[in-house]
């Protein structure tokens, strides 16, 4: 089962930093690098979310401020309860989703929002345990690269070239990390999926005569 502690232990093994009496990286620092790797992972294999928000009568604007941490919004279903679902065009600015429909909702109504979020690791773990090693590789790469920058002008017990070895290790691990992210099956699905077929002519009016075709 995935956990922050398990991934952190794997990162320490990768960095050869397992002497608890003389850790080079604190738990807090490694957690920061793990969370960075998790954010990058989320862009390639996002957490799929589905939430219901409510409209305000007479306006097309809906607040989605509660849908965090948010990467992207995929679709808005309104009105709800139809089969097949009725997905409508929308625009997004900051935390406001605007339904691009001819007439705004006349009352308080539900809108189902499908969106991609960042995975979690503290408390509830939202990603597959099979991807633990991918995140650990990324975190180790970020940690080593960060340490190499810090160690350039410092005295190192490992010798003058210690920072360079960490830089090379970090580069190789980071390259491997992004290479493995691109091979995740979720990545192809994110790039190729479409919730609904968009209409090139939005907000069509049925009240005018287009004339002879």
The domain boundary, picked from 117, 132, 147, lies at 117
Phi first, then psi: give them for residue 71, nearest 5 degrees.
Answer: -100, -50
Residue 196 lies in a domain: no
- What pLDDT, on the 0 to 100 scale, is given for residue 123? 74
- Do 11 and 58 reside in the same domain of the chain? no
Phi first, then psi: give them for residue 74, nearest 5 degrees.
Answer: -95, -40
- What pLDDT, on the 0 to 100 scale, is given for residue 200? 39
Q: 140 and 173 in contact (C-beta within 8 Å)?
A: yes
- Do 111 and 9 reside in the same domain of the chain? no
The tally of domains found in the chain comes to: 2
- Do 164 and 184 reside in the same domain of the chain? yes
Residue 24 lies in a domain: yes
- Do 183 and 134 reside in the same domain of the chain? yes
147-170: per-residue pLDDT in tens? 887 655 554 555 445 556 888 999
Instruction: Give dist(CA 43, CA 167) in Å, integer.
Output: 25
- Do 39 and 80 reside in the same domain of the chain? no
Flag whether the pTM goes above 0.85. no
- Do 72 and 174 reside in the same domain of the chain? no
Of the CA atoms within 13 Å of residue 3, those in its CB half-sphere come to 5
Instruction: Give dist(CA 176, CA 170) in Å, integer.
Output: 10
Residue 207 lies in a domain: no
- Do 38 and 142 reside in the same domain of the chain? yes
- Do 32 and 126 reside in the same domain of the chain? yes
Q: 142 and 107 in contact (C-beta within 8 Å)?
A: no
Residue 206 lies in a domain: no
- What pLDDT, on the 0 to 100 scale, is given for residue 190? 60
Residue 203 lies in a domain: no
- Do 99 and 74 reside in the same domain of the chain? yes
Instruction: Give dist(CA 6, CA 2) in Å, integer.
Output: 7
Task: Report, as ranges of residue numbers, the positions in the chain whose pLDDT lies below 50.
Answer: 155, 159-160, 197-208, 210, 213
Q: Listing from the earlier edge strand, what are the strands of the sheet with 90-93?
A: 61-63, 96-99, 90-93
53-63: per-residue pLDDT in tens? 999 999 999 99
Q: How far is CA 66 from CA 3, 28, 31, 99, in A?
A: 25, 27, 25, 18
The domain boundary, picked from 117, 141, 172, lies at 117
End-to-end CA distance of the chain: 63
Q: In terms of residue numbers, what domain contains 106?
A: 47-117
- Do 80 and 175 reside in the same domain of the chain? no
């Amino acid at each position: 089962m995935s956990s922050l502690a398990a991934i952190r232990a794997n990162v320490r093994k990768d960095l050869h930093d397992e002497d608890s009496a003389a850790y080079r990286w604190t738990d807090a620092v490694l957690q920061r690098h793990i969370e960075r790797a998790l954010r990058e992972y989320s862009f390639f294999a996002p957490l799929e979310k589905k939430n219901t928000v409510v409209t305000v009568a007479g306006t097309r604007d809906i607040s989605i401020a509660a849908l965090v941490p948010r990467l992207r919004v995929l679709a808005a279903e309104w009105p709800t309860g139809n089969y097949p679902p009725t997905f409508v065009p929308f625009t997004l600015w900051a935390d406001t989703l605007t339904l691009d429909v001819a007439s705004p909702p006349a009352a308080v109504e539900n809108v189902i929002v499908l969106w991609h979020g960042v995975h979690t690791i503290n408390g509830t773990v939202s990603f597959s345990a099979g991807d633990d090693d991918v995140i650990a590789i990324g975190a180790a790469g970020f940690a080593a690269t960060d340490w190499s920058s810090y160690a350039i002008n410092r005295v190192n017990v490992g010798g003058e070239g210690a920072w360079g070895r960490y830089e090379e290790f970090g580069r190789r691990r980071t390259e491997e990390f992004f290479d493995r992210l691109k091979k995740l099956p979720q990545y192809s699905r994110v790039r190729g999926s479409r919730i609904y077929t968009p209409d090139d002519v939005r907000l069509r009016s049925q009240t005018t005569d287009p004339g002879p075709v």
